[in-house]
Amino acid sequence: MKNFLKSFLKKILTNTGPKPLENNKIKIHTGLTKNKILKGKTNINLYNFGKLNKNKIFYIIRRSPGAGLFSNVIYVINHLIIAKENGFKPFVDMQNYKTIYNEKYKINKTLNAWEYYFEQVSKDKIKDIYKSRKVIITDNTFYKKFKHSITKNKLNKITKKYLKTKKEFVLYANNFVKKNFKDKTLGIHYRGTSYKTSANHPFPPTKKQIIDRSRYLMKKYKYNKIFLCTEEKEIFHALCKEFGNKICFIRESYRSDKDDAFKKYPRRNHRYKLGKEILIESLILSKCQGFLYQNSNVSEFVKYLDNKNKIKYFFMKTAFNSSNEYIAKWLWYYKNQVPKFLGGFE
């Protein structure tokens, strides 16, 4: 009863995070750990699945259930560095080790969620890898030594080599830009919903803050158009009302006033579409002349795409939420309702 109550209260009072739609097919079991085969201090699981490829060492990158799309991308890129430094053959397996984006049925002829959005990092076939003599399967840890930036240091070179976005999304984004960006455009990425309740994360701006800042930038830098990317319905409607026909956006993108994107399933292939939409929106944001943002994995990906530094960046700095996960669940809402002298937002 004690454990049940603890689990029940945690579910109500904290962010427990989204889960995959179904369980993984492959169960991790005890492998033959040989630390000498790997440079550095990262632990490995080395398996013998069969007689194929005696002279190759495969490096299966798994992350389950994973997190947001670009968090998963950064995680994969860090592991690709390990594979390259050690001469391993990398492969991203988000088929057997399912993420929060995986659907139950094939999308574009694949069950591998990585291959929904990006080209596979290797030409090797998954069925052959799991019949091979030496296969390393990564554990599920985002190590402290991992980098969070894919625009600096050696991650940048690895990213350019391995991170190939599916052409259909690039074409969609380019066509959208061609059709809608007739004027100087300010891109806005507003991350609300779960960010309001995430411990030790920056608070999302209030409705007044984001409108005032957008209006100021439009006037000062003479932007005539806004491309809006947000999953928060209230902010979406507020900015559309404020700027009218100056706003453009992806109409089909999922928006809500609750942190329910991975809790509901309101349309066919919903989870696949969540990843597809933020990927396309990020590609479009990278084509804007200005970008209003808070630090996130989305803004990190936009900066990576802006390899010629054409965008003018406007960072919206806000205070951080409490590190206490129970307090963090409610603090943004409290501060949004009370005056400044009681601890409210400015």
Span 61-96, pLDDT tens digits: 999 999 999 999 999 999 999 999 899 999 999 999
Cis peptide before 339 (omega within 30 of 0): no
Residue in the block written with tokens 């996960």 = 325
Please give the Cα distance from 159 to 140 (Å, whole number): 20
What does the pLDDT look like over 8-36, one tens digit per residue? 555 555 556 788 888 776 654 444 444 44
Distances (CA, A) of 190 to 73, 323, 331: 20, 22, 19
Beta partners for residue 60, in sequence order? 91, 137
Reported confidence tier of residue 199, pLDDT bands at 50, 70, 90: confident
Domains of the chain, first to last: 14-162 (no CATH), 167-342 (3.40.50.11350)
Tell me the whole-structure pTM to 2 decimals: 0.90
Residue 65, Cβ neighbours under 10 Å: how many? 19
